[in-house]
Amino acid sequence: MLIVAVLTLVTMAVEIIAGWITGSMALLADGVHMAGHAAALGLAAGAYYLTRRHADDRRLSLGSGKMGDLAAYSSALLLGLSTLWLIGESVHRLFAPEPLLPAEALVVAVIGLVVNGVSIWLLGDHHGQLHHHGEAGEGCHHSHHHEHHGHVDNNLRAAVAHVIADVLTSVGAIVGLLAAWVWGWYWLDPVIALVASVVIMRWAIGLLRQTMGTLLDQEGPTSLRTQVKQRLESIPDSRIIDLHIWSVGQAAWTLTASIVTHHSRSPDDYKKVLHGIDGLHHPVVEINCCQHCRTDQSDS
């Protein structure tokens, strides 16, 4: 992740400088896009480090898993703000064209595409190793949730998706510059930049919504709630009266459940039936014994 972040950062700087010098808004858009992803990759690499470093920090009551979501939220916010500037500049260039050096800009765009290809290979190779490790480690228990089931590392999968998005914007920049060089369609360059800006903004808004939900303890997915409810109520004469499930990191969840029953049972009886649910950690179960149950207990 760190190697790809550095590669993306260097290429970003080259593309932004070249886009400014050559007058190519498509190349500049690709550079700004890569800037957002360089920030995302850098923050993701930092989040991995901090998550591991603070895994046993008792000040973090539910672990350090949300550091990745905090990093993603910050990078999406920065990317959205930079895209607003890019949209304004593209509109200005569309109505007030400036000199464009398509051949020179095209060389830089091709270099950017090659770097993105190398980045995909690096991340894709590591993603494959994690997938293999996750399958081989089925049944093993890890003490820290950020290491649980490596093959569902959403942080790494998101990084791969970001670099693929960079590839698409690089291809768009190359198409626009080729059209300007061969046919003189200089207007296509800022148009492609505007289209790329819309795509980037949609990605940034989507990531903001997703990470905000995690950071604000949004309720877990319906499928997980249904699975937990069925497990807990599989114990005879048990009914859930309150259930909350929320994310504490990548593919990691915790819950609080209040259960009413006529029988004398301990929370451990219910926690046992939750074993085997992927990514579920430190469930808290409250038992509410009905009046008949309390009477039986007092008689005994």
* Mean pLDDT, each 10-residue run in order, the chain (300 residues): 84 86 78 75 78 72 70 77 78 78 83 85 62 37 37 58 72 83 82 81 81 81 90 90 85 88 88 87 87 52
For residue 257, the model assigns a pLDDT of 93
User: 């989507």: which residue's tokens?
Assistant: 206
Q: d(Cα 71, Cα 79) in Å, to the nearest integer?
A: 12
Q: d(Cα 182, Cα 189) in Å, to the nearest integer?
A: 13
For residue 232, the model assigns a pLDDT of 92
For residue 259, the model assigns a pLDDT of 92
For residue 243, the model assigns a pLDDT of 93
pLDDT tens-place string over residues 63-88: 667 777 777 787 778 778 777 877 88
Q: d(Cα 83, Cα 119) in Å, to the nearest integer?
A: 23
Q: Which domains does the chain have, with CATH numbers?
A: 2-215 (1.20.1510.10), 222-299 (3.30.70.1350)
